[in-house]
Chains A and B, each alone.
Chain A
Amino acid sequence: MKPDPNLLLSVVDLGIGFPERLIIPSINASVFSGELVSVIGHNGTGKSTLLGTLAGIRKKLAGEIRINGKDTSVMSRKEFASMVGYVSTEQVNAPDMKVYDLVALGRFAYTNWMGSITGEDKKIIFDSIEKVGLSRLMYRNIGELSDGEKQRAMIARVLAQDTSLLIMDEPTAFLDLRNRYEIIHLLQSLAVSGKKTIILSTHDLQSALGESDKIWLLTDGALEEGAPEDLVLKGSFDNLFGESLLKFRKSDGNFYPVREEKESVCIRGEGLMKQWTIRAMKRLGFRIKEIVSVNEITITSDERNNEWKVQKGEKHLVFNSIYSMVYWIKKNNA
């Protein structure tokens, strides 16, 4: 049987781990060109080990890794480096290294013994810096960049390496929300328009489920692969957190904290104000009901006056913010 020409990476019976401790004995998985694959799993299930092994940084313990049908163990380092690029959370910290210098190192596998940068190399370097939006900081020391900018520079470096496969070990860890979003967006656009194939590990389940073409779910000693939706339907995520505080809800694909529900509360009103009031009460652990007894709380959100009327037994109170209302409820229900 002729293999699918779009099959970029295939992993056959791959064993990963350390010489003295096997983490996953046998992995079988595949990735097609242009796919975005998210690797998820708890700490210690072998995400970094797997990615490091695929990126050629760690030794595999058994099995085969094929890229474009060719066994990676017969490739020279340079040949391999022209096919697979790697970015992790490890940051480069060399004094006086400019963004340009860093990105130029991506050309290592292509330059001569002196590492001379040709006109063609230069164009690729500028292109890569432009793609991650760092052109203005091209001659800035990497030590002066913010964490987000640094990670962009690392991505530019791997783009300059001009590989079809990018392996990224938690590329957004340690970044704030905005930077995290921007990096993920950048990676997506690279996968779609740049014809890059990306395998990344992440702890952000929500975006992994929402954005990936394929999930590699690592559990104790095994890898399960499939479209995120397939894994949801199969129930693979149901027990991801065991009996702990997070519960996966199949109906909307979200994870919800499990809380012990205490008393009931009735919430009247309409629109956004009512929705967010409900949310606040859920956070406090209340059960939301249409009808409650006299001794329980009834809240009426009044959008016109922008206030909340609270009734409990004989007491009638008015609050002008959810915060002050929550404060009162906490104090009185203690």
Chain B
Amino acid sequence: MTKIPSYYQTQIFAENPVSRIYFGFIALTVLLVIFFALDIFSGSIGISPAETLNILTGNSDSPYSAIIMKFRIPKALTAVFAGVALSVSGLQMQTLFRNPMAGPDVLGISSGASLGVAFVILGFSSLIPAGNISGLGNWLLIASACAGAGIVMIVIMLLAIRVRDILTVLILGIMIAGGISSIVIILQYFTSETMLRAYVIWTMGSLGNLTPDQLRILGITITAGLLISLVTLKMLNALLLGETYATSIGVNIRFARGLVFLSTSILAGSITAFCGPIGFIGIAVPHIARMLFRTSNHKVLLPATIITGAIVMLLSDIISQLPGSDKVLPVNSVTSLLGIPVVIWVIVKGRIIKSAV
């Protein structure tokens, strides 16, 4: 009876959706390239596609060259970073908390990062010469945002261990976010008008204000966060079983949690530090990836989430340019309008992981 039946060898490809996975990744990659290009081609200043192409290939010394090279390409790269980072942190949080509604913005992680940013901009800004948020200032901003995100993450996890109910945890997340915004308001009350203005502009979220220095720092931190998330892949798959079974198959829960915390705080924290709070990408994109690939395996879901996150963020940026007009919308209102329907769809369709135990 221990002989393996022969039919699995013939049926494995019929039932195992391997072809779907290959096809899905090819399609997503093509879409990513298209949207990246579209994002460079669109902007508030009309530059014809032909001219853009010339600039990109280096065959033109058009006056618009600076706009493409110094503004649009860095902005598109930032969009990719932001989409990837927020989506991956959302995916990891949804699995860790076993809560389909988890995401950096929903559970107050982004708020924690905002508080970190507020401390730097509103609190310590008097120590740094105004207008000179570069060099050490950038790292301080990122470190502070990541620390803020990490602290909230730990608080939420401690609460989630006690109350395992999904909705209760979400409400606690809202409470924490509320508490944090009160602290931020107090900080605002005591700060100078210029710094207040800088902070308010930051809260609107923007992909286009990064200096080359900041973009480089963002590249480093996002890469670090993604590398850590690679190490968590195997554990994330095991955590789908719930903590009891995960422990029984050999997962060190504390270690797994620690790594996910670290990765998520770095990813969500550094994007929030430089781009402002960008909502609903983290919660919605993992669901789109699951819908596309119909799997629970994070070895498929992580790359799928990475590419989908980049595509959705590029799309949001393109929409925020309002193609054909010279007006620009705040990008985080676009991501909300794109993300919210997905979240509602997830709730309505009841693809809710039951609360643990």
Contacts and interface: CB of A to CB of B under 8 A. Distances in A.
A199 interface: no
Interface stretch (B194-202, B203-211, B242-250, B265-273): B242-250
A92 B249 contact: no
Highest count of chain A CB atoms <10 Å: which of B233, B248, B296, B351: B248
A90 B245 contact: yes
Interface stretch (B4-12, B136-144, B176-184, B311-319): B4-12
A256 B311 CA distance: 68
Contacts of B15: 138-139
Contacts, number: 100
Interface stretch (A99-107, A172-180, A295-303, A315-323): A99-107
A130 B251 CA distance: 26
Given A130-B5, A135-B5, A93 B353 contact: yes
Interface string A119-163: 000010011001100010011000000000000000000000100
A192 interface: no
B294 A92 contact: no
Interface in B224-277: 231, 233-234, 237-238, 240-242, 244-245, 247-252
A155 B80 CA distance: 43
A90 B7 CA distance: 31
Contacts of A127: 2, 4
B240 A92 contact: yes
B297 interface: yes
A106 B246 CA distance: 10
Contact of A115 (B2, B4, B234): B234
Contact of B296 (A101, A131, A135, A161): A101
A83 B307 CA distance: 40
Given A96-B294, A106-B249, A139-B16, A114 B234 contact: yes
Interface string A243-261: 0000000000000000000
Interface residues of A, number: 41
Contacts of A78: 250
Given A57-B248, A109-B250, A90 B2 contact: no
Contacts of B250: 77-78, 80-82, 108-109
A262 B2 CA distance: 58
Contacts of A139: 15-17
B231 A113 contact: yes
Contacts of B351: 95
B331 to A, nearest CB: 30
Interface string A53-88: 001110000000000000000000110111011101
A77 B231 CA distance: 18
A97 interface: yes
Contact of B247 (A56, A90, A94, A138): A56
A167 to B, nearest CB: 8
A105 B248 contact: no
Interface of B: 1-2, 4-5, 7-8, 15-17, 100, 231, 233-234, 237-238, 240-242, 244-245, 247-252, 290, 294-297, 299, 351, 353-354, 357
Closest 7 CB pairs of A and B: A81-B250, A115-B234, A109-B250, A139-B15, A97-B296, A86-B248, A94-B240
